[in-house]
Amino acid sequence: MKNNWTTYQMPNQQGTTVVITGASSGIGYEIARAFAAKGAQVVMAIRNLEKGEEVARQLKRENPGASLKLMKLDLSDLASVRKFAHEYRQTYDTLHLLINNAGVMTPPFQKTKDGFELQFGSNHLGHFALTGLLLPMMNNVPSSRIVTLSSTVIKGANINFDNLDGSKGYNRVKFYGQSKLANLLFAQELNVRLKASGSTTISLGSHPGRANTNLYSLGSDKTGPLMKIVKVLLAPQSAEMGALPTLYAATNPTLRGGEYIGPDGKGGNKGYPQVDTSVLKMVDPKITNQLWDVSESLTGISYLS
């Protein structure tokens, strides 16, 4: 018999502080909504504070007692990532949960403020840097977890170390797949390193299947008619359902670290959360270690030894 896990089975989150990147729309909004309803202190790490204030008011209307804090974070700018981490450390003593959710999907070729290709720079390197800067506040905090979102597009993707910046050619779909594969490999390698260091913090990956969200381009909530049609055709479930695998990964007490959670439907496109082992064959230790070394070099952020 299938166990159709929903937010009703989420443990109470009183006393838990959770940072959610990209919490003002789509999957991130639904994750914030669920944690707010369960009593967590929700830190919404977002680019657009004006939009965030509107979303926070909406969440407060649903849950008048919700504990919400808005903090500015631009993952395409390492200076912004460092500033966010500094301000977080000035405000809070610990961190229980970090949800690496925000992302940019298939934009025209662009570079970040630090000169990285936008998708790899924002989706992977921004979160790599953020996690490294916040990790000291999570080490050995009971039940602390890092959940990094990947995607179904990783099937067939690869990391092209000879063209990470797109200078030798750019295909927006392939570069999106590369960035999301990097998310998966990062989540897996981080868990390995945490375990080796003796830390009780665990790292997990998740993906929402094909969910109806605002993931078009960084900082934009608008899309053209073609993308709207594609969105309807390729998104067989709601953002609320798409958030369930991440919420499961973040709160289910049976998980031990290293799991990858996705929908249980055909192809992982929709459904209720389950542990997905089908992609673990994509985790090549040689590639994950190379990606780690490159990420440390590009961001200037050093992790656990």
Predicted pLDDT at 276: 94
Predicted pLDDT at 216: 40
Domain boundaries defined on the chain? 13-299
Predicted pLDDT at 168: 97
Task: Give catalytic residues, as residue numbers.
Answer: 170
CATH number of 13-299: 3.40.50.720
Longest dimension (CA), the chain: 52
Predicted pLDDT at 183: 98
Predicted pLDDT at 279: 85
Predicted pLDDT at 1: 45
Output the DSSP codes for 233-282. HH--B-HHHHTHHHHHHHH-TT--SS-EEEE-SGGGSSSSEEE--TTGGG
Which pLDDT tens digit goes with each residue over 202-249? Answer: 999 999 999 876 654 343 344 455 445 455 555 568 999 999 999 999
pLDDT under 70 in the chain at which residues? 1-2, 213-236, 304-305
d(CA 145, CA 95): 9
Can you give the pTM of this predicted structure?
A: 0.93
